[in-house]
């Protein structure tokens, strides 16, 4: 192996290790969400989510704390979670197993395709006792019945 080839191999290895470290650090979060307690408001019902290309209907559990913490779980029957969302004033965690979408980070840095979902927290905080909540964000419509 020539000296030039050895330097290239080391440089390539260092570049790869740096890229792995940077992307790993970006996807791992040490943010701690509050856990639901007896003081949280819990609502159960159904969600109809509609876009121009897709419709999702599922059982919804919404949890809100007095401090503004928000949790949403959408399932299709017992034990089949389709989507979970946790959010507080600054941070969000979104997991959609049916589309294999996963994201967590500061809410202000969320990808555009999650903005509708991340707008739900404010809707529930402003109307916590509604039996029906309808929210439209761009081409997305969220309709909750409790």
State pLDDT tens for residues 27-56.
456 778 777 778 899 999 999 999 999 999
For strands 140-145 and 132-137, give the pairing.
Answer: antiparallel
120 Cα distance to chain centroid: 11
State the CB neighbour count (10 A cutoff) for residue 87: 22
Extract the residue ranges of the chain whose pLDDT is less than 50: 3-27
Q: What is the pLDDT of residue 18?
A: 30
Q: What is the pLDDT of residue 2?
A: 53
Separation between Cα atoms, residue 60 and residue 145, nearest integer Å? 9
Q: What is the pLDDT of residue 17?
A: 33
Q: What is the pLDDT of residue 41?
A: 94
Q: Which residue has the tokens 């979104």?
A: 94
C-alpha distances in Å from residue 64, one per residue of 24, 43, 46, 87, 124: 31, 9, 17, 10, 8
Mean of all residue pLDDT scores within the chain: 83
Whether residue 60 contacts residue 144, with contact meaning beta carbons closer than 8 Å, is answered with yes
């Amino acid at each position: 192996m020539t000296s030039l080839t050895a330097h290239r191999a080391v440089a390539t290895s260092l570049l790869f290790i740096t890229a792995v470290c940077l992307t790993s650090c970006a996807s791992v979060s040490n943010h701690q969400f509050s856990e639901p307690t007896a003081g949280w408001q819990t609502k159960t019902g159904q969600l109809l989510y509609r876009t121009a290309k897709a419709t999702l209907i599922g059982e919804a559990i919404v949890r809100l704390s007095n401090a503004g913490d928000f949790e949403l779980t959408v399932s299709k029957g017992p034990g089949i979670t389709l989507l979970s969302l946790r959010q507080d004033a600054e941070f969000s965690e979104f997991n959609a197993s049916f589309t294999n979408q996963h994201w967590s980070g500061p809410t202000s840095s969320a990808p555009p395709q999650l903005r509708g979902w991340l707008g739900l927290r404010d809707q529930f905080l402003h109307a916590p006792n509604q039996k029906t909540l309808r929210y439209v964000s761009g081409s997305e419509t969220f309709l909750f019945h409790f």
